[in-house]
């Protein structure tokens, strides 16, 4: 996890639980729950309207081994480096 006020490219906008563990990134990306959550529509739903755009980069990451007991996959978005978080809203 990064400091939101340090230079970074990606930010988490959603997270979900996997129904079973994955071993490879390709398995994660193929999972139904990941495909349904990590979408541009879902991202734009939590962004203020002036921040919505069609060219956000969206990535999925598996649960983090460095976080004890973590079982959440995360949906990340980004488009260039920034040094503060993008304010998100509840969908």
For the whole model, what pTM was predicted? Answer: 0.83
- Number of domains, the chain: 1
Asked if the structure places residue 86 within a domain, the reply is no
> Which residues span the domain enclosing 13?
8-80
Backbone angles phi, psi at 58, to 5 degrees: -120, 130
Asked if the structure places residue 14 within a domain, the reply is yes
User: pLDDT of the chain along its 91 residues, tens only?
Assistant: 566 667 767 889 999 998 888 889 999 999 999 999 999 999 999 998 877 788 899 999 999 888 888 889 999 999 877 777 788 888 7
Is 62 buried (19+), middle (13-18) or exposed (0-12) by CB count in 10 A? buried
Asked if the structure places residue 2 within a domain, the reply is no
């Amino acid at each position: 996890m990064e400091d939101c006020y340090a230079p970074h490219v990606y930010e988490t906008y959603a997270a979900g639980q996997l129904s079973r563990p994955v071993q490879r990134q390709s398995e994660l990306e193929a999972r139904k729950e990941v495909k349904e959550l990590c979408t541009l529509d879902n991202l734009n739903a939590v962004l203020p309207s002036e921040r919505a755009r069609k060219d956000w980069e969206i990535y999925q990451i598996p649960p983090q081994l460095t976080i004890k007991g973590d079982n959440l996959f995360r949906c990340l978005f980004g488009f260039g480096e920034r040094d503060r978080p993008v304010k998100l809203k509840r969908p």
